[in-house]
Amino acid sequence: MAKRRRRTRGWLLVLVAVFATVLGGSLVLERLYPLAYGSAVNQCAAEHGLDPYLVAAVIRAESRFRPEVTSPQGARGLMQIMPETGRWVAEQMGLAFDAAYLYEPEYNIQVGCWYLATLLRQYAQDPVLALAAYNGGMTNVDNWLNDQQWTGERHTLEQIPFSETRHYVAVVLRDQQRYRFLYGEWR
Q: Which residues 6+ apart lie within 8 Å of 170 measured at CB?
A: 157
- Regarding whether 138 and 85 lie in a shared domain, the answer is yes
- Regarding whether 127 and 70 lie in a shared domain, the answer is yes
- Regarding whether 56 and 26 lie in a shared domain, the answer is no
Percent of the chain with pLDDT over 70: 83
Identify the DSSP state of 49. T
Whether the pLDDT of residue 29 is over 80: the answer is no
pTM listed for this prediction: 0.86
- Regarding whether 103 and 43 lie in a shared domain, the answer is yes
- Regarding whether 62 and 152 lie in a shared domain, the answer is yes
* Residue 73 three-state SS: coil
- CATH, residue 59: 1.10.530.10
| C-alpha separations of 137 from 45, 82, 119, 144 in Å | 21, 11, 10, 11
Task: Report the mean per-residue pLDDT for the chain.
Answer: 90
In tens, the pLDDT along 72-121 reads 999 999 999 999 999 999 999 999 999 999 999 999 999 999 999 999 99
- Regarding whether 47 and 11 lie in a shared domain, the answer is no
Q: What is d(CA 81, CA 61) in angstroms, rounded to the nearest whole number? A: 13
In tens, the pLDDT along 112-147 reads 999 999 999 999 999 999 999 999 999 999 999 999
Q: Which residue has the higher pLDDT, 36 or 165?
A: 165
Which residues have a catalytic role annotated?
62
Count of domains for the chain: 2
- Regarding whether 27 and 54 lie in a shared domain, the answer is no
* Buried residues in 116-128 as b, exposed as e (16+ CB within 10 A): bbbbbeebeebbb
- Regarding whether 86 and 8 lie in a shared domain, the answer is no
What does the DSSP assignment read for 82-124? -HHHHHHHHHHHT----GGGGGSHHHHHHHHHHHHHHHHHHTT
- Regarding whether 156 and 99 lie in a shared domain, the answer is yes
- Regarding whether 107 and 21 lie in a shared domain, the answer is no
Please name which of 174, 164, 160 lies closest in space to residue 72, comparing C-alpha atoms. 164
- Domain extent, residue 124, equals 38-183
- Regarding whether 82 and 4 lie in a shared domain, the answer is no
Q: What is d(CA 75, CA 121) in angstroms, rounded to the nearest whole number? A: 23
- Regarding whether 42 and 28 lie in a shared domain, the answer is no
